[in-house]
Structures are given as structure tokens and as C-alpha cells.
């Protein structure tokens, strides 16, 4: 080897000494993965967090549970998470959090101060599923999942369309909530879970927000209308009536907006395709009777839903985004009041299919 080659090799070897290794990383064996995170109001201005960790299979025989739970108070959420580390032998890793459950009382005070850390620090994934909880947070976090999924994964699957999600269950992610805090034209609608008797929790409806505070609530049936009008409807939904059980298999909504004399006018036409599920209690009802009954029921639900949101001045549908170009920037903050006075008209076009011979008209008697 020539002298030049030896010098080059020595320089390369010296350069390798300057390279950094993974000195600041932690092996997965030394981390506790957060599956679900809960927030509730504590004494004074403090917040209490509930953290649920899934356990690896190697520890299941010892603990007989696939999770363990810990709680901690703090002045802020990051402060409480940091204090949790004092109680544990491993590092707390919130980067895989699947569910964020927020106590109803805390949501009535205001969410923004308690969610800002997630936007700034990005320690919690922005696609984390968020829900408001009514009930005992300790019981919800301490109860085992009936189907045995890992902590947090169960809550996420509860809302996912490919798993336990249903149109009435309004899947809401963390980034959607925070973005609407800063959008005067679109208010938040967040799913509401209540403490269950046979399960850790069950779906109860959706809560209406104005700004970052709860101001109202939609029940399960009104939540279905919200899904239909906002193009969030997926899969199929069974609608139970006095005369029939039908399944909504397809939906498309057409929305037209205008401004007349300073009053927003919103027109919605919702087209539904239905199939017959059960006709055992129909009696002599005709196809027209069934369609008319369903249309009357849907209009009643739409009326109560819009009354609640307009009374609260909370445009959870995002209609205001269609008026952004018609208002000056100084008028953006007035949309809540404009929405209260908006005229909203809605119609339904219903097609009932798969009825078989039940509604076949008899031949005309000659």
C-alpha cells in the first residue's frame, strides 16, 4: 500500500471516531407505550390525567391483565405526564396514543388550554381519536376490554368504519378539533361516551361545542342526520319505525347557499336509498305509507337538530365555510350570530327497494 493510501485510510478511521451513535435512544423494552390518555378536572386549577398502558405477553401471567392504569395530577398535561415518570421504572412513550378521553366537566370549562401541548410538542399523534366522557373516569380506565384488544386500540376500533364504527358514531380526531378552535365558520361536534353497565363505556350521542366549551348535545338519532348532511355517512344504518325496519344503503346530499338581505339561506336536498329489512309488523301499509312515515320522522329530527345548533350559534356542519368569500375578514367573528338567524330548508328524496311482492299492486278488476 502506498503512503498516500495509508494516510487516506488513517483519515477515514479518524473520521469514524467522530460519528455519533444512538446514545439518546431507548429500546422498546425500556419504554411504556401509552394506549389511552384521559383528562379530567382536579382541585383548583390542576388537571388529573389517566394513563392506560398495554402490557406485553411476557407479563400477562403475572398480572392476569393486559394493561395497567396510573393517574397523576399536575398544573398542565405535560407536567402531569412528567410526574408519572417518577412512579415508573421505564420511560413513558405517548407517541402511540390511540385514544384521548376528556371528562365532560373539563370540556365545559374549556378544552383549548389542555390540548395545546399536543399541537406544539407533537408528543401525542394528531390522528388520535377523541371523545368526551360522562361518568367515572377511573372506572372506565380500570375496566378490562370485553374483546381483549390492547388498551387504546379498543377505543379506536369503537369508532373506525372498518370495525365497530357506525354512522351515528362521529369519529373525531385530535387535529380536527384543534383546527376548528381557530375556524369561526365551523364548530366542533365530539362523540359522547357514558359509563356502561355491561361494558366500560357506550355511545350516548354527540356534544356541541362553541369555541372550546360544551354548549349543547345531539342525541343518537339527530347524530344520524348530521352524518347524512355532512357527507360523513358510511356503510349502512338501520332505521326503526312503527311500520318497518329499513336499512339506509346509500346517501348523497346537495347543499346550496346564498345570502339574502344579510340573512344566510341554506337549502339541503338529501337523497336516500333504502332496502327493506323486516315487514312482519306492517299490516296493510303501502309503500307510500312507509316512505311518508320515514320522511316525517327525518324532518322532525332535522328540525330539532337545527334548532339546537342555531340556538347555540354553533355551526357544526361547516356551512359558514361556503360564505367565507362573501364576508369581509372583520365579519368572520359574526358568523355565529348570522347562523342563529339563518334560514335552513331541507327536503328528502327516498327510494325504497328490495320490497319483494309485498307492495305489488293487485291487477285492476274488470
Tell me the whole-structure pTM to 2 decimals. 0.85
Helices (H) and strands (E) in the chain, counts: 11, 14
Helix axis angle, 220-229 to 287-312, nearest 10°: 90
DSSP element (H, E) containing 78: helix 77-84
Closest CA to 191 of 175, 161, 209, 169: 169
Give whole-number Cα distances, 216 to 78, 188, 190, 305, in Å: 29, 11, 11, 10
Eight-class DSSP state of 320: G
Q: Looking at the predicted structure, is the pLDDT value of residue 60 above 60?
A: no
Tens of pLDDT along 309-329?
A: 999 999 999 999 999 999 999
Q: Integer distance in angstroms from the first to the last C-alpha of the chain?
A: 114
> Stretch 245-268: mean pLDDT, rounded?
92
Q: Count CB-CB contacts under 10 A for residue 340.
A: 14
Tell me, what's the pLDDT at 90? 86
As a whole number, the mean pLDDT across the chain is 85
Tens of pLDDT along 21-33?
A: 555 566 666 788 8
Query: Are the C-beta atoms of 335 and 323 separated by less than 8 Å?
Result: yes
> Stretch 233-261: mean pLDDT, rounded?
83
Tell me, what's the pLDDT at 181? 93
Q: Looking at the predicted structure, is the pLDDT value of residue 122 above 70?
A: yes
More confident of the two residues 161 and 308: 308
> Stretch 55-74: mean pLDDT, rounded?
75
Q: Looking at the predicted structure, is the pLDDT value of residue 108 above 70?
A: yes
Query: Are the C-beta atoms of 313 and 336 separated by less than 8 Å?
Result: yes
Q: How far apart are CA 281 and CA 245, in angstroms?
A: 9
Distance of CA 132 to the CA centre of its chain: 9
Q: Which residue has the cell 350521542?
A: 205
Tell me, what's the pLDDT at 255? 96
- Dihedral angle, C-alpha 321, 325, 329, 332, nearest 10 °: -30
More confident of the two residues 267 and 3: 267
Tens of pLDDT along 162-192?
A: 777 788 888 899 999 999 999 999 999 999 9
Q: Please tell me the least confidently modeled range out of 72-76, 161-165, 258-262.
A: 161-165
Q: How far apart are CA 225 and CA 209, in angstroms?
A: 17
Q: How far apart are CA 40 and CA 37, in angstroms?
A: 10
Tell me, what's the pLDDT at 318? 95
Q: Looking at the predicted structure, is the pLDDT value of residue 357 above 60?
A: no
Tell me, what's the pLDDT at 366? 44
Q: Please tell me the least confidently modeled range out of 116-120, 230-234, 356-360.
A: 356-360
Query: Are the C-beta atoms of 123 and 117 separated by less than 8 Å?
Result: yes
365: pLDDT confidence band, cut at 50, 70 and 90?
very low
Amino acid at each position: 500500500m502506498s503512503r498516500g493510501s495509508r494516510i487516506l485510510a488513517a483519515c477515514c478511521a479518524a473520521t469514524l471516531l467522530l460519528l455519533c451513535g444512538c446514545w439518546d435512544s431507548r429500546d422498546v423494552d425500556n419504554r411504556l407505550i401509552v394506549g389511552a390518555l384521559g383528562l379530567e378536572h382536579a382541585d383548583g386549577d390542576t388537571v388529573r390525567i389517566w394513563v392506560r398502558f398495554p402490557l406485553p405477553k411476557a407479563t400477562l401471567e403475572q398480572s392476569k391483565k393486559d394493561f395497567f392504569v396510573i393517574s397523576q395530577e399536575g398544573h398542565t398535561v405535560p407536567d402531569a405526564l412528567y410526574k408519572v415518570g417518577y412512579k415508573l421504572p421505564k420511560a413513558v412513550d405517548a407517541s402511540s396514543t390511540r385514544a384521548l378521553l376528556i371528562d365532560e366537566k373539563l370540556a365545559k370549562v374549556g378544552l383549548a388550554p389542555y390540548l395545546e401541548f399536543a399541537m406544539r410538542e407533537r408528543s401525542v399523534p394528531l390522528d388520535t381519536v377523541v371523545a368526551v366522557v360522562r361518568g367515572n373516569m377511573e372506572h372506565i380506565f380500570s375496566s378490562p376490554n370485553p374483546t381483549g384488544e390492547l388498551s387504546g386500540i379498543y377505543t379506536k376500533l369503537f369508532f373506525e368504519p372498518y370495525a365497530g364504527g357506525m354512522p351515528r358514531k362521529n369519529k373525531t380526531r385530535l387535529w380536527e378539533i384543534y383546527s376548528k378552535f381557530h375556524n369561526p365558520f365551523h364548530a366542533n361536534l365530539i362523540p359522547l361516551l357514558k359509563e356502561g353497565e355491561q361494558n366500560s363505556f357506550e355511545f350516548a350521542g354527540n356534544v356541541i361545542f362553541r369555541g372550546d366549551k360544551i354548549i349543547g348535545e345531539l342525541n343518537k338519532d339527530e347524530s344520524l342526520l348530521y352524518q347524512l348532511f355532512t357527507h360523513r355517512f358510511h356503510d349502512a344504518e338501520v332505521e326503526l319505525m312503527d311500520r318497518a325496519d329499513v336499512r339506509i344503503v346509500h346517501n348523497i346530499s346537495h347543499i346550496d347557499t346564498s345570502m339574502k338581505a344579510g340573512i344566510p339561506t341554506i337549502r339541503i336536498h338529501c337523497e336516500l336509498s333504502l332496502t327493506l329489512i323486516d315487514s312482519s309488523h306492517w299490516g296493510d301499509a303501502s309503500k307510500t305509507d312507509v316512505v311518508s312515515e320515514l320522511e316525517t320522522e327525518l324532518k322532525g329530527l332535522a328540525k330539532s337538530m337545527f334548532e339546537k345548533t342555531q340556538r347555540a350559534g354553533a355551526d357544526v356542519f361547516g356551512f359558514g365555510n361556503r360564505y367565507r368569500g362573501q364576508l369581509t375578514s372583520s365579519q368572520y367573528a359574526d358568523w355565529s350570530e348570522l347562523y342563529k338567524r339563518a334560514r335552513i330548508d331541507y327536503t328528502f328524496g327516498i327510494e325504497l327497494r328490495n320490497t319483494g311482492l309485498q307492495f305489488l299492486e293487485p291487477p285492476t278488476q274488470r
